Amino acid sequence: MLKRENRLTKRKKLQKTKTLNTPFAVIKISKGVEKNSKFGFIVSKKIDQRAVVRNKTKRRIRTAIEKLLLEVKPGQEILFILKKGAVGIKMEDLYKSLKIIFSKENLLK
């Protein structure tokens, strides 16, 4: 589970975001003012009506982010809006694709 210091709050509005489209999510990246990188996840009912599936998908992406957390530059605010493609993706594939996306966007140390 992500530590509280690495979570985006519900009321947080991202300013000057850069939007990326991937097969599994829409990723919004913003420069934050705090020293910790913060992450938020949105999984709507359009993906699946069952809460079990939505929560499982959210847990998978959170664990992939936890593995990458030490490599991410500090001060980033990243919001993931998950798509239907995220439901069946394997953990290794998710981790690899996130690492590739973050390195292309120069978010890794």
Domain ranges of the chain: 4-104
pLDDT tens for each residue of 46-56: 999 999 999 99
The matching CATH number, chosen from 3.30.300.90, 3.40.47.10, 3.30.230.10, 3.40.50.12280, for 4-104 is 3.30.230.10
pTM of the model: 0.89
Q: How far apart are CA 46 and CA 5, in angstroms?
A: 29
Residues 86-98 have pLDDT tens digits of 898 888 999 999 9
Q: What is the pLDDT of residue 10?
A: 80
What residues have CB less than 8 Å from 42, skipping those under 6 apart? 79, 80, 81, 82
